[in-house]
Amino acid sequence: MSSPSPSKKIPPRVNGSQRMPPGLMGEARKSTLRTTPSRHDDTIMRHMAVLSIASRRLLFLSVIAGLITVGSSSGLFSSSSGNHPFGFPRLNPLTGVVLPRKSCLEHYLNGESKAGIKPLLAVNGDDDGEDVGPFNVECVPPEQGESDQLVGTKVHNALEQWHKVQAGEKHTIGYQINHRPTLRHLLQSSEFCSQDVFVRWPRLNLQNEESETQLMAFTLESVQGAKRVFQRNFSTYEPYEEALTFQSIRDSTTFEVGVLHVIGTDEGYPNATAWVRTGPLICSEKVVDKVECLFELNTRSDWLKVSAETQGLIQFSFRTDKPTTPFLKIFLSDGSSVNVELHDGYLISIDHTIHAMKHLADGHWHTIAIDVKGLTLQVDGASPLISLSAVTNKVTDVHIILNGQVSAIQAGVKPGNWLCAGHAHIESQLTEQILRKICPSYEANYCQCKAPLSVLSRRPLCGNTVDERRGFQLARKSDKLAFFFVPTFSEKSRLYIVFKTDSPSGLVFFGISKSTESSTRVQVHFNADRIFASQCTKSADHSEKCRSCSLRKSGGFATNSWIHVSFFHYGNYQFLAVDSTVCQLSLDIAATASSASSEFHDGTALYEADSGAPSGLFIGGTYYAKTKRVGSKVISSFRKNYLDNTREKPPSLHGCIAEIILNGEVQNLEAVFKAQLVEVAKEGSPEVFAMQSGCQGCKVSTDLCAGATCRSPAPALNEPPICDCASIFALQDESTGQCYTDISASEVGATGGYGNLILTSDQKVILDKMTFKNSGKAILDKIWILLRFPDANTEPETIIEIGEIKIETAENGHRVIIKIDTFTEEFQVETSDERLHLIAIQRNPTMGTTSLPTVKVQVDNAIKYIDLEELPIVGTQTVIVTPITHVDEEGKAPGVAGCIAEFAATFEYREDVAKIYPENRVHQEDLLKELVSHAFSGGVPAEIGLVSKGSCGIRDPSLWTANSTGYGIVGEYDPYGKSESNCWSIVLTVILVLVVLGVLIGYCYFKQRKSATYKMKPTTVSKEEKTPLRDGYLDQSGSSTDHSHVDLSSEKTPPAEKKNGTYPATKVNVRDPLSALV
């Protein structure tokens, strides 16, 4: 192996590691049980008193122990999860992470209108005493928000890979929702559920053809107990497959959907079995199940009144397409009211106080929750709460007066059903008419604009497509400029920009506003998954104050999809809106410290211009220090006013700008470009700019990209975009450009089916014949591996090595150690199912020339950063794969042998090179394919034996993008499950307690019978020592007995006198020895 050149290191600094937030867990409430010792004043003999107290104590403690056992298993002493009864505080105010909800429908009604992984709560999980959930599963919302549309829930299971059915064997299937009551609730409450089932029957080989009348079959049993028998078709001996779909409709008698058990029959023939697999369980719920629960408000005179007499919560869901409209009127006990209005689609005002919310007039459903007692209002469970603390009187009722649809009304202290028409707490005045369509997809409307109303043109109607022909493509070159320049701009300007990019960082716009008293710089740029807005105003005394805010975009900005950015103001407040989100620029550093660093508050990250420069607006880039060749082509006055001689900060936008609206006027980009040629370039030469008219579409169908970024493969402007499959960690078909996402390219049927590489062997094997070359003509951007970790070793062992990168596993596949140069990072891995895990080592590009580069190390959804400028693989390096050596004493195979399904390296083009190389383009190399080829070419049986043609595991990108819940396994037959087992444990515990009680009662009974016939031996005692008791028995307190815990009074009691033939009762003080324990 050649020795690599040392990688470039960065001086140590503090790094932030991105980790998924900790799981949400309910906190158990401790219960303290106290008992008070009973006092016995009866004059029964002391032996019986002792027996009575001891047995009762033991009886009581036995009952308590039994109850505690039952409570611990059934949740009697567990607290609730702490969620709000109506579920509206579903966003953690500290982390911004969406908290679990009851269903995908509830997520959808709370403004989560995009498909993705959402956390679902368990049904009665706390009541069952189980630590279950939340379950991170996929929610699929409808494209339209009409009330009759369906919200989907997709639940994966362990049987989504082929499973061999063995005669006489039974297995239970794991699901992402592993709590059976919750899974049953999903099936029973959904409008419709379905699940695909596939069966593969191999060739039938009968040993005795006379026995062909026997049946070979197996059974699938569902979560709800329904069974379906599959029988082999004996009319053919040839292999065949069959497929069908299990379906269920609510309130029907069909319960086969939700396959839980696979049961093989006892009959069969050698080599004549079956294979079975299923698809995910998909269930759908109606947005509004009952038409009487949907209210339509179409005119200003329409209103809906909800009584606040319960003094709890009032919650309702709504959808509207009116960006500016009266919203709520909250009435108080003194007759006054609080007015809530919607402004610009993104802001709400409460008695003229403005609050930035989100895009609420987008035609999707959103939820308002009003805490009548706490006097707060919340939208979509988002933080922070909007306080109504100025209200001192009691809230009597809430009038909903928005223009749109309202449903899912709830009120009270405890959660309840939806309040519908005719309910005692609901009053309404509605204009009767046919329900209108809100934001239909077949016509232009405001919902498609994704921008505040005030930044748009006079006719705010937008279509669902962007005209790319009117746009301009921008590139980054050191000898050319790339921006739009408009000489009119002020801090009160309203700006709307539509763009797309394939770069992780870039400048959206930079503006300068001059007045006689101050000068203002405004800048918006993005980096990774954040976009920042800053406004710095310098007064006449040269002091400068800056406001800033930032927003996070899931998945980042380098997706090559259209992004809508708006900068606008309301009164003296400035706002930044990106698609459906909005933030207010603030002076308070602490308020935005989590989202914008201090450099955006002191202005050091903003571009600068000459103090005498006039107002101007740069879009997509600015004039920072370039080569002298550029300066010679720029008009000197423009260079003097706007040239920033500092190092490049946010780089120019690499992508396409399709639309610009400034102060309500749509800009003709062709005309703007021609005007700036006169303003900027000498002789008006367009060669000064790395820009060209028209945005290029993707070369291949977006379906083939399968969600991957469609981007330019080379720095030249005329290169048509292709699918960047590496952006979703997928291999690419060289001929069609298709990304492999459903199956790995290494599997059978894909690109020749070259196979997977097994990571466990019964003998020492090292694959070290393959080399990988990094010529440096393009940038080595990323190395990624999809694999399952072997579980045969407990101590760290190296399985993959390339250059100065080593990957080790330990603790039976649960611990991964990645060594890069001198850095070591460790990760814990959950291996509870058959999904493929991701290891990715990727270059983290810098933002301009002022930030320091890093390398991102990712295992599944855990990400860490190390201070390296590039991946430490230079020149030609040997790729080494060393499977774990495992020899079991009993000859058994390991539980999980582990395997590599994908192993690839990706190259990024260099943006600015003097010489053009064919290799300087986006491309990837399939390292696994080369490894398999070398294993076969060597002819070594042990190496060839490492190649498997079967499936390595399930490819599920949500494991490394959204922390989805595991699928579980096809495990041992479990007919009851955890919840049912708890029920049986409760029953058995109760039976055990009853048995103990019976034994104690019987013991006491027989002891008492024995005492009744017991005769004391005659003993000579003094007169003072004799204390006559009832029934003629004597109390010999001075004798030594086994009942040493009897504590008699130290005072001598004189003999009682007989009255009426009987002796009066004598009080015996007995101290309970167990009283000290309670």
CB 176 within 8 A of CB 104: no
Alpha helices in 400-443 (DSSP H): none
Q: How buried is 504 (Cβ within 10 angstroms: 0-12 exposed, 13-18 middle, 19+ buried)?
A: middle
The per-residue pLDDT for 358 is: 94
Q: Other C-beta atoms within 10 Å of 518: how many?
A: 14
Classified as helix, coil or strand, 851 is coil
**In the chain, where are the structural domains located?**
33-82+986-1078, 152-286, 291-429, 466-572+589-693, 696-742, 744-960
The per-residue pLDDT for 986 is: 56
- Tell me if domain 152-286 and domain 291-429 are identical in fold: yes
Least confident of 174-183, 287-296, 483-492, 622-631: 622-631
Task: Give the model's confidence band at 878: pLDDT under 50 very low, under 70 low, under 90 confident, else very high.
Answer: very high
The per-residue pLDDT for 385 is: 86
The 3 state secondary structure assigned to 469-522 is HHCEEECCCCCCECCEEECCCCCCCCEEEEEEECCCEEEEEEEEEECCCEEEEE
Tens of pLDDT, residues 883-894: 999 876 655 556
Q: What does the alpha-carbon distance between residue 238 and residue 933 come to, in Å, rounded to a whole number?
A: 33
Is 63 a residue whose pLDDT tops 50? no
Least confident of 3-12, 182-191, 906-915: 3-12
Least confident of 429-438, 633-642, 921-930, 967-976: 429-438
Is 538 a residue whose pLDDT tops 70? yes
* Closest to 807 measured CA to CA, from 840, 850, 834, 833: 840
Task: Using alpha carbons, list the distances in angstroms from residue 90 to 120, 132, 209, 401, 1078.
Answer: 11, 18, 65, 26, 42
DSSP string, 70-102: HHHHHTTTPPP----TT----B-TTT-PBPPBS
Task: Give the model's confidence band at 511: pLDDT under 50 very low, under 70 low, under 90 confident, else very high.
Answer: very high
CB 465 within 8 A of CB 695: no
Q: What does the alpha-carbon distance between residue 154 and residue 104 come to, in Å, rounded to a whole number?
A: 10
> Mean pLDDT, to the nearest integer, of 188-207?
88
Q: How buried is 126 (Cβ within 10 angstroms: 0-12 exposed, 13-18 middle, 19+ buried)?
A: buried
Is 923 a residue whose pLDDT tops 60? yes
Share of the chain above pLDDT 70, in %: 76
For 423, list phi and psi in degrees, rounded to 5: -70, 150
CB 153 within 8 A of CB 284: yes
> Mean pLDDT, to the nearest integer, of 848-858?
82
Q: Which residues contact 183 (CB under 8 A, 6 or more apart)?
A: 155, 175, 177, 223, 258
Q: What does the alpha-carbon distance between residue 719 and residue 923 come to, in Å, rounded to a whole number?
A: 14
Q: Other C-beta atoms within 10 Å of 3: how many?
A: 9
Beta strand extents in 515-556 (DSSP E only): 518-527, 530-539, 544-552
> Mean pLDDT, to the nearest integer, of 131-146?
89
> Mean pLDDT, to the nearest integer, of 404-431?
87
The per-residue pLDDT for 836 is: 95
The per-residue pLDDT for 988 is: 66
The per-residue pLDDT for 620 is: 96
The per-residue pLDDT for 50 is: 36
CA dihedral 842→845→850→853, nearest 10 degrees, is 10
Share of the chain above pLDDT 90, in %: 51
Is 364 a residue whose pLDDT tops 60? yes
Domain 744-960, CATH: 2.60.120
Task: Using alpha carbons, list the distances in angstroms from residue 1041 to 219, 859, 950.
Answer: 69, 72, 79
Q: What does the alpha-carbon distance between residue 535 and residue 544 come to, in Å, rounded to a whole number?
A: 10
Q: What does the alpha-carbon distance between residue 311 and residue 757 come to, in Å, rounded to a whole number?
A: 64
CB 617 within 8 A of CB 489: yes
Least confident of 182-191, 481-490, 800-809, 1005-1014: 1005-1014
Is 323 a residue whose pLDDT tops 60? yes
Is 982 a residue whose pLDDT tops 70? no
Is 724 a residue whose pLDDT tops 50? yes
> Mean pLDDT, to the nearest integer, of 331-353?
90
Q: Other C-beta atoms within 10 Å of 668: how many?
A: 12
Q: What does the alpha-carbon distance between residue 935 and residue 946 come to, in Å, rounded to a whole number?
A: 8
* Closest to 717 measured CA to CA, from 497, 498, 467, 471: 471
Give the residue, 1041 or 485, on which the prediction is more confident: 485
Tens of pLDDT, residues 692-710: 999 887 878 878 888 898 8
Radius of gyration over alpha carbons of the chain, in Å? 38
Q: Residue type at 227?
A: K
CB 153 within 8 A of CB 140: yes
Q: Look up the CATH architecture of domain 291-429.
A: Sandwich (2.60)
The 3 state secondary structure assigned to 860-873 is CCEEEEECECCCCC
CB 906 within 8 A of CB 892: no
* Closest to 99 measured CA to CA, from 87, 113, 85: 87
Task: Give the model's confidence band at 310: pLDDT under 50 very low, under 70 low, under 90 confident, else very high.
Answer: low
The per-residue pLDDT for 6 is: 44
Is 1068 a residue whose pLDDT tops 50? no
Classified as helix, coil or strand, 188 is helix
Give the residue, 939 or 629, on which the prediction is more confident: 939
* Closest to 620 measured CA to CA, from 661, 592, 651: 651
Least confident of 72-86, 217-231, 319-333, 960-974: 72-86
Tens of pLDDT, residues 745-770: 455 444 446 889 999 998 999 999 99
Q: Which residues contact 81 (CB under 8 A, 6 or more apart)?
A: 24, 26, 121, 125, 126
Give the residue, 1048 or 921, on which the prediction is more confident: 921
Least confident of 203-217, 240-254, 316-330, 567-581: 203-217
Tens of pLDDT, residues 227-264: 999 988 888 888 999 999 999 998 888 899 999 999 98
DSSP-derived secondary structure letter, 164: E
Task: Give the model's confidence band at 313: pLDDT under 50 very low, under 70 low, under 90 confident, else very high.
Answer: confident
The per-residue pLDDT for 253 is: 81
Q: Look up the CATH architecture of domain 152-286.
A: Sandwich (2.60)
The per-residue pLDDT for 949 is: 87
Tens of pLDDT, residues 579-633: 999 999 998 654 444 444 444 556 778 999 998 899 999 999 999 877 677 888 9
- Class in CATH terms, 466-572+589-693: mainly beta
> Which tokens sit at 354?
């403005």
Query: How many CA atoms lie within 13 Å of 108's alpha carbon, on the beta-carbon side?
Result: 28
CA dihedral 353→356→360→366, nearest 10 degrees, is -90
The whole-chain average pLDDT of the chain stands at 80
The per-residue pLDDT for 383 is: 66
> Which tokens sit at 208?
């005795």
Residue that the structure tokens 């740069």 belong to = 618
The per-residue pLDDT for 254 is: 83
Q: What is the chain's percent helix, strand, coil content, to nearest 5?
A: 15, 35, 50
